[in-house]
Structure 1
Amino acid sequence: MDELTVLRELEPEVPALTDEARAAARVRLAGAVAKERRGSRSPARRLVLRAAFTATAAAAAGGVYAAVTRERGNGVRLHTLSAAQVLRRAADRTRAEGSGIAVPRGDQYLYSREVYTRTMSRSGKRTTHTDEFWISEDGSRTSRYLYDGRIVDMPPLTKHEVVSPPTEYAKLMKLPTDPIGLLRELGHADFRTEDGALSAYIDLLMLMRGPRVLPPGLRAAAFEAFSKLPGIVIQGGVVDALGRQGIGVSRDGYSIGLVFERGTCAYLGLRLEGVRGARTVGTELRGGEKYLEVRALVASGVVDEIGQRPR
């Protein structure tokens, strides 16, 4: 079973990929995800969270973000921020805040809870869902994914399987906290090329996507690494599942990106576009209805057992 089929099982509403789309997705997707089922003989395994990479490609709106700031005694002044500036501000903010989460042990679980809204483009129907994850920190225990009430358990890693980017804190500690060093350590010294930029973008999204306790400076380095990639653009206004006003940042032409709070540039979650009910005709997707999904990370932490939640 290939990795794109696994993703389809986790997100059954997304139509089958065409050969052309599948080839494009595999530029790095094949290295960013892997077999999730028991019995896989793949030498590598990556834990993949639902809907992270199953949306169809959609053009992102480029340009700049119009930000409002207040000056003492002078009312309101309008200025613009580029995608790179938003990412650098997000990096500065996360450095100042710190993670606030205890360093996990190998026998513990990394917990996260996400609330997401899905809005259909034609009908305007908007639904709200909740996902929860309990991921074994060192991969030695069963992990659990709770997708809007549907339970999926993943067996422990075998000695031949790995997670990349890693979930183990000790391994994350070894990653550089400068953006260029991080890109190179992740295997993307060619990040200025088209294929290299896409490959780096996927791996950085994976680093941000999964439940992880990131060492000091690593999240900031990841935001700054995003800013170094060519083709990073603003996606315009976004409202997350908690009603927070945000702005999207993604790679041009890619349907998945990050969401930051408007004004503060605090990281909120992910934004993605997909298609529900489409059918494949030749190399094209036809019919169906597009949707916008916005995910908000509402809780994260470290627990001792599956089913436990941080206080």
Structure 2
Amino acid sequence: MDELDLIRERAEAVGFATAEDLAPVRARLVAATRTGRPARSRRWFWAAGATTIGLAAAITAVVTLTPAARIGVGAGVANADPVKVLTEAAGAALTEPATAPRPDQFLYVKTEYPGHQTREVWFSVDGTRDGLVGDTKIPGCRDGKAPVYGANDPKLEGTLEDCVPSPAYRADLPTTADAMLDYLLAHYSGKKGDTNALGKDVINLVVERALPPGAYAALFEAAAKVPGLEALDHVTDGAGRPGVGITWPVPGGSSPDAKPLVFVFDAATHRYLGTNTSAVVVKTFVDQAGQRP
């Protein structure tokens, strides 16, 4: 593949910027040519591999130019497309420890929000033990029955009702992108075509559930198949940590001021950090509900 083929392939993958997008870049380029810098000697160095990579990078910077103001999130534009970012996130997920927790343990997650507000949860690994969301008790489901907690009627407190276990550790989920996407669509929490709701379903699995590495990777690969996603550089999560972002389209009919949901990944390790309004600061397994690592 020569340079032109590489450029053509890249352009087809990410699309060209509009004349409006390119106007500021063109203006800076023209200004730079008028600075009157002394001419340098014409010494050229050629290296086929490096030249091709550099040329492809330059083309990428142009064809993926998307002003952040259009999306309503922070400053900066993306140098990578959503598929690349999510594929790298999938690769990072595969490096996570594969050791399964004990059924009697709890998944502990601490999430931070702007203003240093936090949320702590303790969810039963197998779904049969009572957990906690903050100070609120979450009933486990044992033998098809779960106790009622926090009922308005004191007589109902502690009585049993029918239930199905909701395990925090999901070893049953698919490990291929296509199968995972089918699973997500079959367990959709929003209206048909609402990709924003689909994004929230993905976040719920990433943040407040624990998956084997193969299922985590499949989850990000499935997300990469969702249309309408865009990538952004220089975004921050809810704790202010910098990273690269993936935006999910706002639902149809939303207010013009509605902001897209943004996944934030560490730019170096590609690990999931949180969203533009939340940050996962601790996620691990503990032996008891209420225990902190």
Secondary structure class of the residue paired with 2:140: coil
Task: Identify the residue that residue 206 of structure 1 maps to in structure 2.
Answer: 204
The aligned counterpart of 2:41 is none
Name the SS of the counterpart of 1:228 in structure 2: coil
Is 2:228 aligned against 1:231?
Answer: yes
> Following the alignment from structure 2 to structure 1, what is the Cα–Cα distance between the partners of residues 204 and 124?
16
Closer, same or farther in 2 for the Cα pair 1:99/1:167, shift >3 Å? Answer: farther
TM-score (norm 1): 0.54
**2:126 is the counterpart of 1:138:** yes
> Aligned residue for 1:156?
140
Instruction: For residue 264 of structure 1, report the CA deviation from its aligned partner.
Output: 3.6
Residue 270 of structure 1 is matched in structure 2 by 275
Structure 1 counterpart of 2:221, one-letter code: E
**Contact 1:61/1:233, CA 8 A, preserved across alignment:** no
| Match runs of 1:284-299 below 5 Å | 293=277, 295-299=278-282
Distance 1:256 1:199 in 2: 9
Higher Rg of the two aligned structures: 2
- Tell me: CA distance 1:99–1:162, structure 2 relative to 1, closer, same or farther (3 Å): farther
Letter aligned with residue 91 of structure 2: D
Report SS of the residue matched to 1:131.
strand
Query: What is the CA distance between 1:209 and its match in structure 2?
Result: 2.8
Name the counterpart of 1:167: 167
Other structure's SS at 1:218 match:
helix
Unaligned runs of at least 5 residues, structure 1: 1-58, 68-79, 118-126, 272-292
Is the Cα contact below 8 Å between 1:91 and 1:221 reproduced in 2?
yes
Q: 1:222 and 2:227 equivalent?
A: no
Distance 1:184 1:262 in 2: 29
AA matched with 1:157? C
Alpha-carbon distance between aligned partners in 2 of 1:66 and 1:264, rounded to the nearest angstrom: 20
Alignment-mate amino acid for residue 250 of structure 1: T
Trace 1:13-32 onto structure 2 (pairs within 5 A).
Answer: none
State the match for 1:279 in structure 2.
none
Structure with more strand by fraction:
1
Q: Which runs of 5+ in 2 are unaligned?
A: 1-69, 145-161, 252-259
**Does the CA contact (< 8 Å) of 2:92 and 2:271 recur in 1?**
yes
Supply the distance in 2 between the matched residues of 1:224 and 1:168 (Cα, whole angstroms): 21
Paired residues, number: 195
The corresponding residue for 1:246 is 243
Amino acid at match of 2:287: D
Tell me what 1:261 maps to: 266
C-alpha deviation, 1:141, in angstroms: 2.1
Q: How does 1:94-133 map to 2 (within 5 A)?
A: 94-95=93-94, 97-99=95-97, 102-117=99-114, 127-133=115-121
